[in-house]
Amino acid sequence: QQQVKQSPQSLIVQKGGISIINCAYENTAFDYFPWYQQFPGKGPALLIAIRPDVSEKKEGRFTISFNKSAKQFSLHIMDSQPGDSATYFCAATSRPGDAGSARQLTFGSGTQLTVLP
């Protein structure tokens, strides 16, 4: 119930191409879906996030598409660049029962993206 399934495990894209990473979840209580980008030796950094009341959110070259009925969401990276080469994690979280608590993130397994020059 708490799992977030992410695919593919690895992705190789040519420079200028579109990178697409998919995630699926089961827990209908999830109401916030962030994507994190992690470079080697660094902690994950928030890239973009979406709530289920919208079907799409775009920030620069990064777009999240959200399908509430299918319980799926995806990250699209347009015009992929070598500098985008990193590991991407989708995550999901639900409002905690304790109003004073932070949200507990449930992460997908990660996608290692390589953008070839």
Residue 84 backbone dihedrals phi, psi, to 5 degrees: -80, -10
The residue whose two tokens read 């980008």 is 37
Is 83 a binding residue for other proteins by CB under 8 A? The answer is no
Return the residues of window 19-58 that contact other proteins according to CB under 8 A.
Answer: 32, 34, 36, 41-46, 49
Is 73 a binding residue for other proteins by CB under 8 A? The answer is no
Using the rule CB under 8 A, which residue among 22, 65, 81, 106 binds other proteins? 106
Identify which of residues 15 and 42 has a Cβ nearer to other proteins in the complex: 42
Identify which of residues 80 and 108 has a Cβ nearer to other proteins in the complex: 108
Using the rule CB under 8 A, which residue among 8, 60, 104, 116 binds other proteins? 104
DSSP 6-57: EE-SEEEEETTS-EEEEEEE--TTEEEEEEEEE-TTS--EEEEEE-TT-SEE
3-state SS, residue 86: strand
